Structure 1
């Protein structure tokens, strides 16, 4: 039985539904917005229902469109999996998303080592502040900061991280106790689970209500600012390990204050992806690099 809608049109529908925009779908597929709109209109005529509700210059799926999208997503995901399985000569592909600071500070500098140990695996890495939803099959796994916002995912805790004050060496010699920090610019990492007030409380102090210092919404920016001598940052030694190893950052209160220790990052993925050999290879390598034990992939 032939399909009432050709596969290229289904691809246009999937892109428009995922992006909630005919214009964005056109850009992704290298088409014009009018071509996308025409294809959707012909598809609606073929299936006999309205698939998109037009709202101003945007679109949203109708109830019938949402029902169709669930099936189309699964269908294209099966196509992709089938092609990966059939293409035995192609490298094993891992589509990985990551929190930006972990990707920039820890993962990317180690990818060469991963490829040396796993030459048959290709990692396609994307980094953004949005958590992966996994519904459209765009990614196989995500390294997130904190815990996932959606249920039904396998969650693998990564290494315990240490949050401690870090600064450039020329600032460190002026700091002998926690109270000395108050004489300096304190760099704020706004998205950290634990920030300066928690550290001061742990060390028996109350942080003043007003402090001077730069504010950043990503750890890699705060770490870079501290390495340039802009102040003292409360950051993860895991994320800042390159700057520490190169002597650009030091922990002035090491052994003289209490540090915050917690598991900040997690590897998450849908249960069916656990069978994918590329993910298994990556997770096992990740565990070796971080010196942790896996409760999965054993």
Structure 2
């Protein structure tokens, strides 16, 4: 049987990049070559395999069935190769890439990270924010923390924290004698701050749900500005611009430091929670294990502090 000549690695890399971008021009920019060079490498790979990988249009390209199958495999293989090369090139520098939502990064993670760095000075953390589905191989993400229902397929998940919801505001707002917040009805005189994260998601409390539960009278649940994230709504509350619905773990630090207070005790359960998300079936990485153990330690410490 005649053996196949060695695979053209440059052509494979060019094809994987072009398949990910669905554009020879964008791929060229990422690879620091010309679009013609990318096209040449893709054609070289097609000749090597004897199949068409792209259907070329006037100003666009689309993957063929064979191209899509190859691209999926190459994405994972190149991701694995990049991680191996990183370990070989810098064996003493342990890097850990963590993906999480902006609100959690700013309000829960950032105030605590100095303790992780003190305990693990050999682990260099890179925190990236986003709430889209993580491709651990393609994006080289080691662990993710997500706010959601937890029904994530193809990955390993652990429930990190519940996320009860309750109103929060600046102390100056609550102590305004002209507009007392002694009962939920008093919210008629205050601006309600909303965030898109609680809009239209089953089981995630919004102002309408909270006001209905407490029996508040005459409060328009739709009144007030809408913010793109919980973090922004919470920062507006800290600044005294209105009353926000705080998500327990995210307002913990501001409550402890007196930047926010809870004007009412009423709290609603939340169908969403905070989850640790890891690759399914992946070899255990000591740095990932260390980070997850630290997360659990911090959650336990927070629980003890809140009971005290």
Please state which band the TM-score falls in when normalised by the shorter chain: 0.7 to 0.9
Which of these residues, 254, 261, 268, is aligned with residue 260 of structure 1? 268
Once the 2 structures are TM-superposed, how far is the Cα of residue 234 of structure 1 from its aligned partner? 0.5
**1 CA distance for matches of 2:298 and 2:49?**
52
| Aligned equivalent of 1:180 | 186
| Aligned equivalent of 2:279 | 270
Once the 2 structures are TM-superposed, how far is the Cα of residue 186 of structure 1 from its aligned partner? 0.3
Do the aligned partners of residues 194 and 236 (structure 1) sit closer, same or farther apart at CA in structure 2, a change above 3 Å counting? Answer: same
Partner-residue secondary structure (3-state), 1:275: coil
Which segment is superposed worse, 64-73 or 81-90? Answer: 81-90
Do the aligned partners of 1:167 and 1:251 also contact (CA within 8 Å) in 2?
Answer: yes
What are structure 1's unaligned runs of at least 5 residues? 293-298
Q: Deviations over 1:34-71 (max 9, x none)?
A: 33233223322332222123355443321111121233
Which segment is superposed worse, 199-208 or 39-48? Answer: 199-208
Do the aligned partners of residues 120 and 4 (structure 1) sit closer, same or farther apart at CA in structure 2, a change above 3 Å counting? Answer: same
Once the 2 structures are TM-superposed, how far is the Cα of residue 149 of structure 1 from its aligned partner? 6.0
Which segment is superposed worse, 141-150 or 153-162? Answer: 141-150
Which of these residues, 261, 277, 289, is aligned with residue 298 of structure 2? 289
Do the aligned partners of 1:196 and 1:207 also contact (CA within 8 Å) in 2?
Answer: no
**2 CA distance for matches of 1:179 and 1:55?**
62
Once the 2 structures are TM-superposed, how far is the Cα of residue 280 of structure 1 from its aligned partner? 0.3
Once the 2 structures are TM-superposed, how far is the Cα of residue 148 of structure 1 from its aligned partner? 5.0
Do the aligned partners of residues 214 and 11 (structure 1) sit closer, same or farther apart at CA in structure 2, a change above 3 Å counting? Answer: same
Which segment is superposed worse, 232-241 or 75-84? Answer: 75-84
Partner-residue secondary structure (3-state), 1:130: coil
Once the 2 structures are TM-superposed, how far is the Cα of residue 137 of structure 1 from its aligned partner? 5.4
Partner-residue secondary structure (3-state), 1:31: coil
Report matched runs for 1:1-12 at 5 Å: 3=5, 5-12=7-14
Partner-residue secondary structure (3-state), 1:8: helix
Once the 2 structures are TM-superposed, how far is the Cα of residue 120 of structure 1 from its aligned partner? 1.8
Which segment is superposed worse, 102-111 or 175-184? Answer: 102-111
Once the 2 structures are TM-superposed, how far is the Cα of residue 166 of structure 1 from its aligned partner? 0.9
Once the 2 structures are TM-superposed, how far is the Cα of residue 208 of structure 1 from its aligned partner? 5.0
**2 CA distance for matches of 1:147 and 1:3?**
49
**2 CA distance for matches of 1:94 and 1:250?**
35
| Aligned equivalent of 1:59 | 61
TM-score by length of 2: 0.83
Find out whether 1:251 has 2:253 as its counterpart.
no
RMSD of aligned C-alpha atoms?
A: 2.5
**2 CA distance for matches of 1:276 and 1:203?**
47
Do the aligned partners of residues 55 and 197 (structure 1) sit closer, same or farther apart at CA in structure 2, a change above 3 Å counting? Answer: farther
Do the aligned partners of 1:154 and 1:268 also contact (CA within 8 Å) in 2?
Answer: yes
What are structure 2's unaligned runs of at least 5 residues? 199-203, 302-308
Partner-residue secondary structure (3-state), 1:158: strand
**2 CA distance for matches of 1:15 and 1:44?**
15
Which of these residues, 138, 152, 155, is aligned with residue 154 of structure 2? 152
**2 CA distance for matches of 1:120 and 1:18?**
33
Once the 2 structures are TM-superposed, how far is the Cα of residue 155 of structure 1 from its aligned partner? 1.0
Once the 2 structures are TM-superposed, how far is the Cα of residue 203 of structure 1 from its aligned partner? 1.4
Find out whether 1:169 has 2:171 as its counterpart.
yes
**2 CA distance for matches of 1:149 and 1:12?**
35
Once the 2 structures are TM-superposed, how far is the Cα of residue 286 of structure 1 from its aligned partner? 0.4
Which of these residues, 200, 203, 206, is aligned with residue 211 of structure 2? 200
Find out whether 1:215 has 2:226 as its counterpart.
yes
**2 CA distance for matches of 1:18 and 1:271?**
23
Do the aligned partners of 1:92 and 1:277 also contact (CA within 8 Å) in 2?
Answer: no
